[in-house]
Amino acid sequence: MSELFFLSMPSRFGTLCIVWQVFSGQIKIRRIFLSNEQIRSAERTKAWFPRVQKGSCAEVEQLALEIRRFLMGEDVAFDLEMMMFEECSAFQQAVLRTEHAVPRGKVNTYGRIARHLGQGCPRSVGTALARNPFPIVIPCHRTIRADGSLGGFQGGSAMKRTLLEFEGITFTPDGTITSEHVFS
């Protein structure tokens, strides 16, 4: 296996880390770690990949720029070509690719994804998204619970809500999202 590298980048939501490597002659993204109230992305990166080294390249710098633009509220269409899906199960890959298709300004529910795939249950979809190795690139912040409440997110609920607000999602006074925003 080739060496692992990470690029650390500041954002309005705390530091993010992009873990990458050269795999079969191509740059591949292994994981993207977000910071949250409990753990910083650098700590999570070192816990998952103890031998990871700081490093960058043009492709990873470009991805970091796109993520930074997205986190500032810009509409960015992320390409999945560099993402290393090989470590995801077939079911998780299907969930992640389905989630990637949800457009900006729309949300999906765990149950709707399960029904779309014709397999699994909302809880297994939730588990697949909770283990999303590429948050932001795969916009798992766009999946909510059936009752319109946010559900979980690696970056925390405040970040999830802010990202959705950037995308034009409105919330009711009790903090839920109305069905008009659900992707069909």
Q: At what angle do helices 90-100 and 122-130 cross, to 10 degrees?
A: 80
Chain-centroid distance of CA 117 in Å reads: 19
How many DSSP H helices and E strands does the chain contain?
A: 6, 6
Distances (CA, A) of 9 to 32, 54, 74, 145: 11, 11, 17, 30
> Has 57 been annotated as catalytic?
no
Given 17, 88, 121, 140, which residue is catalytic? Answer: 140
Q: Which residues sit opposite 21 in a β-bridge?
A: 4, 28
Task: Give the catalytic positions in this structure.
Answer: 140
